[in-house]
Amino acid sequence: MTKKIAIVGCGKIFSKHYEAIKIQEKKNKLKLVAICEKDKNLLNKINLKKINKYNNLTSLLKNERLDLISILTPSGFHYQDAIRCLGKVKSIIIEKPVTLKLSHAKNLLKESKKKNSKIYVVLQNRFNDPIIELKKAIENNLFGKLFLATVRLRWSRGINYYAQSKWRGTYELDGGVVANQSSHFIDLFQWLFGMPDKVFARIKQMQKLKKEVEDTALALFEYNQKKKLGFIEATNAIRPNNLEGSISIIGEKGTVIVGGISGEKLIKWTLKKNKKVKQLLNLKFKRKNGHIKFYDYIIKNLNTKNNLLNLEEGIKSLNLVNSIYKASTVNKPIYIKNVKDTFLGSKKKSK
């Protein structure tokens, strides 16, 4: 039976979700029935037939009977938008990061269970073919003892990017390179390598952005019991274009490097190679819309208990994001389990 879906927020990421939903429409799995956007000019530019348009979420929820809803609004609005959907829509999709404040995410988890609404966080890079094979290798203990994971995010986001909307580049609604561009790689870091115990971090704005957020960050993670280290280098100050988005996993029996721009290309694999790995190593790099596989997963698991993309998973990476910000304000490593809300989601950055 075809499920009815609506999209809330028609900004930059809208086109990727729309493309993925259209593919599901051709399979008679989904039907986009409505979109919602506060910016009337932006809403009027979207020329879609037989789709209802709304300026506010209240009207949409009142007039539409939905099976799913995708929340693509600025990160600082995710919490309030999701809370309003609980109990009214059974399945809720939220773009990354799920919220900016940890307390908001935890309360959303609590309320979603009360009102029996299922939440999916958009973590589409988990479905990249090289990441799938890397996850299998870790689970099958092909590395032996893991001891180092490194993320390198080297993207380009300049003044023109931040000028697209007033909310971009604010800690209240967006966050900098850590909360925004790095969040998918921070998720992959913890999903593949596990949650660390401590972090030491520094954030800086290296380019003059006329915004308050950082464009460069370094974070060193320590795992107390397993004697592992992790490192994240993230910047959106690369000029003129994106350079790489990669993750390396190193163990006593070998190394794997996944690169490209968003972790789509298998660069190095020194472990035992299966047929799929050999194919990926010889595959020409070609960027794809990862949201297509994301929606495939959602449709296949709507009526099951499987949820690889649940809110608990989203909270893990959000915890690391807030930990990096908190650690950047002190001159010593901090314990991640003790971190609560930081200046994310706040109008004024804390000192």
Per residue in 142-158, pLDDT tens? 999 999 999 999 999 99
Per residue in 6-18, pLDDT tens? 999 999 999 999 9
User: Is 240 within the bounds of a domain?
Assistant: yes
Number of neighbouring beta carbons within 10 Å of residue 332:
7
Does residue 262 contact residue 246 with C-beta atoms inside 8 Å?
no
Please give the model's pTM, rounded to 2 decimal places.
0.96
User: Is 253 within the bounds of a domain?
Assistant: yes
User: Would you state the pLDDT for residue 302?
Assistant: 94
Low-confidence ranges of the chain (pLDDT < 70): 285, 348-351
Number of neighbouring beta carbons within 10 Å of residue 298:
24
User: Would you state the pLDDT for residue 348?
Assistant: 55
- 3-state SS class at 177: coil
- Shared domain for 45 and 115, answered yes or no, is yes
Half-sphere exposure of 189 (CA within 13 A, CB side): 32
User: Would you state the pLDDT for residue 199?
Assistant: 98
Residue 84: partners with Cβ closer than 8 Å, 6 or more residues away: 57, 58, 61
Examine the fold and report which residue of 107, 124, 141 is the final residue of a domain before the chain moves on.
Answer: 124
- Shared domain for 165 and 115, answered yes or no, is no
- Shared domain for 102 and 165, answered yes or no, is no
Q: Encode 113-149 in three state secondary structure.
A: HHCCCEEEECCHHHHCHHHHHHHHHHHCCCCCCEEEE
Domain with 87, as residue range(s), is 3-124
- Shared domain for 145 and 70, answered yes or no, is no
Examine the fold and report which residue of 91, 124, 157 is the final residue of a domain before the chain moves on.
Answer: 124
d(CA 154, CA 175) in angstroms, rounded, equals 17
Domain tally, the chain: 2
244: which 2 tokens?
């790489």
User: Would you state the pLDDT for residue 288?
Assistant: 80
- Residue labelled with tokens 């972790």: 263
- 3-state SS class at 32: strand
User: Would you state the pLDDT for residue 320?
Assistant: 98
User: Would you state the pLDDT for residue 351?
Assistant: 37
